[in-house]
């Protein structure tokens, strides 16, 4: 079942001689529950696309349909709810709040949304992430891999429909990289979430079932591999 449709998406920054055409008529579709890897060279528009999918930026033209509705026709309030409840974002840099412990960082999206923390769900998530013993520790007390796991937990705590990850393993060693990928794949399978990962890592891309390659702001290839 189709959950995401991108149609003729364009994003232009600046004007006149300083104009940068980051995305050019991008179009593709994603089925619910797919693991999608978006690849391409630096500067190809991958991160711009991810920010648009997450509703944290707006296009110059074109549409993004989620469950059949153009997200950019939502009101300001509806868009805020979309970002808080349907999207989980994971970045290369963990962006944890240094004064909060692991548990507080993970549950922060629920607190900001005025929602109650389900302690059973939180405990299960900490166990899956391997962070149960580190739940009361601050980010400075964690390894890079543990910090990224906490960032993934923060993205998963509100059970979003989409998990969007932008180079989530870029700062990690090879063993920890695969641990993070396995966590993302687990969330894709166990929570039935649609997973979209921006990556330069070919080994990660080869584990996805849907590959999209972007070059110079355009879709070069779009193929479902399994």
Confidence of residue 114 (pLDDT cuts 50, 70, 90): confident
Ranges 4-8, 66-70, 181-185: which has the least confidence: 181-185
Looking at residue 225, what is its pLDDT? 86
Strand order of the β-sheet with 2-13 is: 20-31, 2-13, 61-66, 69-70
d(C-alpha 2, C-alpha 122), whole Å: 30
pLDDT (0 to 100) of residue 211: 95
Over residues 160-179, the mean pLDDT reads 82
Band the pLDDT of 226: cuts 50, 70, 90: low
pLDDT one-digit tens code per residue, 192-202 = 889 999 988 88
Nearest CA to 87 among 58, 125, 50? Answer: 50
Structural domains of the chain in order of their starting residue, each with its CATH number: 2-224 (3.40.50.300)
DSSP-derived 3-state class of residue 195: strand
CA 166 → CA 1, 109, 137, 169, 205, distances in Å? 25, 19, 25, 9, 13
Task: Phi first, then psi: give them for residue 154, nearest 5 degrees.
Answer: -60, -35
| pLDDT tens column, 58-77 | 999 999 999 999 999 999 99
Least reliable range by pLDDT among 150-154, 172-176, 217-221: 172-176
pTM for the model: 0.88
Q: Which pLDDT does position 90 carry in this prediction?
A: 87
Tell me, what's the pLDDT at 51?
92
Question: Do 162 and 191 meet the contact criterion of CB atoms below 8 Å apart?
Answer: no
Token pair belonging to 134: 């580190």
pLDDT number for residue 187: 83
Q: What is the pLDDT of residue 223?
A: 94
- Residue-wise pLDDT for 42-54, tens only, equals 889 999 999 999 9
């Amino acid at each position: 079942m189709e959950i995401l449709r991108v149609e003729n998406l364009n994003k232009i920054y600046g004007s006149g001689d300083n104009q940068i055409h980051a995305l050019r008529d991008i179009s593709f579709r994603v089925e619910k529950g797919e693991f999608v890897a978006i690849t391409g060279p630096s500067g190809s528009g991958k991160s711009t696309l991810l920010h648009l999918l997450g509703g944290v930026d707006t296009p110059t033209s074109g549409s993004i349909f989620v469950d059949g509705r153009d997200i950019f026709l939502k009101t300001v309030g509806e868009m805020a709810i979309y970002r808080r409840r349907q999207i989980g974002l994971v970045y290369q840099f963990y962006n944890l709040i240094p004064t909060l412990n692991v548990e507080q960082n993970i549950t922060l999206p629920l607190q900001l949304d005025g929602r109650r923390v389900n302690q059973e769900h939180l405990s299960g998530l900490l166990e899956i992430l391997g962070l149960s013993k580190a739940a009361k520790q601050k980010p400075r007390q964690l390894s890079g891999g543990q910090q990224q796991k906490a960032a993934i937990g923060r993205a998963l705590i509100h059970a979003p429909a989409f998990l969007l990850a932008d180079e989530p393993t870029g700062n990690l060693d090879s063993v920890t990289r695969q641990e993070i990928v396995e966590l993302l794949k687990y969330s894709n399978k166990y929570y039935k979430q649609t997973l979209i990962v921006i990556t330069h890592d070919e080994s990660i891309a080869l584990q996805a079932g849907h590959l999209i390659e972007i070059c110079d702001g355009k879709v070069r290839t779009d193929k479902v591999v399994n």
